[in-house]
Structure 1
Amino acid sequence: MQASIPSIVGQMIVFFIFVLFTMKYVWPPITKALEERRVRIAEGLAAAERGAASLKEASAKSDEALKAARVQAQEILAAANKQATQMIEQAKATATAEGEKIVEHANGEVARQVAHAKEELRKQVADLAVLGAARILKREVNASAHADILQDLAGRI
């Protein structure tokens, strides 16, 4: 058994040296790598959270912009409809005024034609009256000599 104690003590010394060597040269790079990995993972998680928050913010902004665009489109459509209605009303008013002018002009033209027809009728009646008087008197009546009488007669008719 005596041989085994020095062997155990030797193994303990070798193990102690191995632990010191591992603690001095192997363990620091491993802990440093683990710490760097932990930091990178933490940064990645923080970046993911910032990205998610940024995505939510961008989504909210795009929703707001979409709502604003819809409101603006509705306003533009309402303005276009209002302008179209105004244009139609203006066109109706213009057409009505133009129609009234045409009717007024036509009425004036009819009145002029009626006056002209009356004047022509008066002349024809005057000529017939002169012709009738000439036949009754069996002689020629001078229309220029009796113009005043004929004008009076035409005015009465």
Structure 2
Amino acid sequence: MNLNATMLGQALSFVIFVWLCMKYVWPPLTALLDERQRVIAEGLSHTEYAAKELQMAKANGAKLIEDAKQQVSSLVEQGNKRRSQIIEDAKLEAEQEKARIIAAGKTELESERNRIREELRHEMTALVIESAEKLIDRQLDTDANRALVNKIITDL
């Protein structure tokens, strides 16, 4: 193998080119690659963090939904209890009102009955007095008295 000046010049030029590339071109390229690798690693860590946050948010959301369902169930139960209480109170009040109305009706009926008895007593008294007057005026015989009493009874 012959080493000639051309080959030596090419080798020297190649060494200078490699040295210049390593001095000026290689560091920015490795810096760019390192920066890109760092950005990708950060993106992956952010993705993992976001996935964990999403998982936690889903768990919190499920817990909030469960709590809301329990609160709604509790409110519905309280509403049903209140409704039952209101119905019971209304029934009790209606029973009391019914008892009061019946008592008032009985009292009114009794007073009306007493008033009618009193009127009948007065009428009977008047009728007895009237029939006694007629009997005294016609004190003729018992058959006449019996006929007069029968006539008075039929008039009543």
Q: Distance in 1 between matches of 2:137 and 2:84?
A: 77
Gaps (5+ residues) in structure 1?
140-157
Q: Distance in 1 between matches of 2:89 and 2:135?
A: 67
- Higher normalized contact order (CA 8 Å, seq sep 6+, divided by chain length): 1
Give the 5 Å matches for 1:1-157.
Answer: 2=2, 4-138=3-137
TM-score (norm 1): 0.84
Aligned position for 1:151: none
Provide the C-alpha distance between the structure 2 equivalents of 1:31 and 1:121, rounded to a whole number of angstroms. 131
The alignment's C-alpha RMSD in Å is 1.3
Cα deviation for residue 6 of structure 1 reads 2.2
Instruction: Give 1:12 shift.
Output: 1.1
Aligned length: 138
Q: TM-score under structure 2 normalisation?
A: 0.85
Over the matched positions of the two proteins, sequence identity in percent amounts to: 35
5+ unaligned residues in a row in structure 2: which ranges? 139-156
Stretches (4+) displaced over 3 A: none
